[in-house]
């Protein structure tokens, strides 16, 4: 059976190693699988759920595209576009917001985290964010959605919305109920400064993450300063409970070298952290520096980048506008 893949990344700048290992690396592998059609979306409508500077947003959209291409996505193999260029996303999101229940959205932990203490001041868009995400996915008859572990709850909501729509309108299977594709291992890369916090673009300390635009010196310096503990490198069957930083660094090493955590533990058990950190920086530089250089090169080719988005948007629009038209018919418009 053929697979239809859809995923989205926000153009909010500072794409980092967590985005790469948790999402983009996987996008590239799926793109190269047989019988698999992939649609990758730069979700600029999601980005404006928090305040954005227009100039910076425009730059970040191009930078996210550049990161996709530099990581190995190819516009001739996958549909790559930005969300706001396909009107069906907004239209479908409104329809689905009349299907989703307040009670379902009230459970979303990401909203609680992002809105912080003052929920009254959060935008309505931030609250409704997962409904727009469901629209993104459902418009393309998506079968699988590759995301990091943090998006699991949103995917469950998307499945609930699809089923409810099909039931309410007696349109069995009209909206395909998608499966999440969450990597079994290394699906949550943690901050370099705190092994219990997710690596995130919004962390105020730049030392907490490796950005995809970091050069060699920055990478080496950040790994040198990464938090560790005072014990030697762990053995493979050791309990990592009190050593989240050691585990995270070993997971980054394993993921980048495509080997199991056990194998990485075997490689370094008993050695000191400075020895391991040197090998780790070397590996990150080897994998990330070419991407970083390519992003910088591509950013000088604005016309080329804009053309990719324009053509991707046209292809996406063909599919999505048909789906939303069918949807409107079912509803009675
Ligand atoms: P975002 O930048 O929040 O739009 O996330 C883009 C993709 O990267 C999503 O699939 C996330 O689940 C994934 N992602 C973001 N941060 C991390 C992280 N620290 N570890 C693993 N995956 C992540
Ligand atoms: N909410 C996702 C994130 O923050 C981004 C996203 C928007 C997405 N639409 C999507 C991911 C559709 C997968 C499918 O990471």
For 158-203, the pLDDT digits (tens) are 999 999 999 999 999 999 999 999 988 888 999 999 999 999 988 9
If one residue of 17, 46, 109, 148 were mutated to test the ligand 1 pocket, choosing by the most ligand atoms within 8 A of its CB, it would be 148
Instruction: Identify any residues that bridge with 101 across adjacent strands, giving them in sequence order.
Output: none
Asked whether 10 lines ligand 2 (CB < 6 A), one says yes
Pocket test residue of 125, 135, 153, 154 for ligand 2, highest count of atoms within 8 A of CB:
154
Give me the pLDDT at residue 12, please: 84
In angstroms, the Cα distances linking 26 to 164, 188, 198, 243 are 30, 13, 19, 27
Domains delineated in the chain: 3-188+302-331 (3.40.50.620), 206-297 (1.10.240.10)
131 within 8 A of 105, measured Cβ to Cβ: yes
Work out the pLDDT band at 13, boundaries 50, 70, 90. confident
- Ligand 2: does its nearest atom lie under 6 Å from the Cβ of 46? yes
Of the listed ligands, the closest to the CA of 22 is 1
The ligand placed nearest to the CA atom of residue 148 is: 1
Q: What is the pTM of this model?
A: 0.94
Pair 227, 243: CB distance under 8 Å: no
Pocket-testing residue among 19, 183, 201, ligand 1, by greatest number of atoms within 8 A of Cβ: 19
Interior CA angle at 48 toward 29 and 148, to 5°? 30
What's the rounded Cα separation, in Å, for the pair 240 and 263? 15
CA of 212 to the centre of ligand 1 (A): 13
The answer to whether 96 and 161 are in contact (CB under 8 A) is yes
Q: CA 150, CA 76: separation in Å to the nearest integer? A: 29
Look at residue 51 and give its three-state secondary structure. Answer: coil
Q: Where are the alpha helices (DSSP H) in 107-209?
A: 109-115, 124-138, 152-168
Q: What is the mean pLDDT of residues 44-68?
A: 97
Atom of ligand 1 nearest to the CA of 150: 12
**pLDDT tens digits for range 30-45:** 999 999 999 999 999 9
**Residue owning the nearest CA to atom 10 of ligand 1:** 147
Q: Which residues are catalytic?
A: 114, 198, 201
Q: Give the whole-angstrom CA distance, residue 259 versus residue 123.
A: 42
């Amino acid at each position: 059976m053929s697979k239809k893949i859809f995923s989205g990344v926000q153009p909010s700048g500072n794409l980092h190693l967590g985005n790469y290992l948790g999402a983009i690396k996987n996008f590239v592998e799926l793109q190269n699988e047989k019988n698999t059609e992939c649609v990758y979306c730069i979700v600029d409508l999601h980005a404006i759920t928090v305040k954005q500077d227009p100039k910076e947003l425009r730059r970040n959209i191009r930078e996210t595209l550049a990161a996709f291409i530099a990581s190995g996505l190819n516009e001739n193999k996958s549909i790559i576009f930005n969300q706001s260029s396909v009107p069906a996303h907004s239209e479908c999101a409104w329809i689905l917001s009349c299907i989703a229940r307040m009670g379902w959205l009230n459970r979303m932990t990401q909203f609680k985290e992002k809105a912080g203490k003052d929920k009254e001041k959060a935008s309505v868009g931030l609250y409704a964010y997962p409904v727009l995400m469901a629209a993104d996915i459902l418009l393309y008859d998506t079968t699988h959605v590759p995301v990091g572990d943090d998006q699991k709850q949103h995917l469950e909501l998307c499945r609930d919305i699809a089923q409810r729509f099909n039931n309410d309108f007696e349109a069995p299977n009209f909206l395909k109920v998608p499966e999440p594709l969450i990597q079994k291992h290394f699906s949550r890369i943690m901050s370099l400064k705190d092994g219990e916090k997710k690596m995130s673009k919004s962390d105020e300390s730049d030392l907490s993450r490796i950005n995809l635009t970091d050069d060699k010196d920055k990478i080496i310096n950040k790994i040198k300063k990464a938090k560790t503990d005072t014990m030697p490198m762990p053995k493979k069957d050791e309990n990592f409970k009190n050593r989240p930083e050691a585990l995270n660094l070993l997971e980054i090493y394993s993921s980048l070298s495509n080997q199991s955590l056990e194998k990485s533990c075997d490689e370094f058990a008993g050695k000191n952290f400075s020895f391991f950190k040197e090998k780790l920086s070397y590996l990150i530089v080897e994998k990330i520096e070419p991407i970083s250089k390519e992003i910088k090169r591509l950013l000088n080719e604005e016309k080329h980048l804009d053309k990719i988005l324009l053509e991707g948007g046209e292809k996406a629009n063909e599919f999505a506008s048909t789906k939303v038209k069918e949807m409107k018919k079912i509803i009675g418009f």
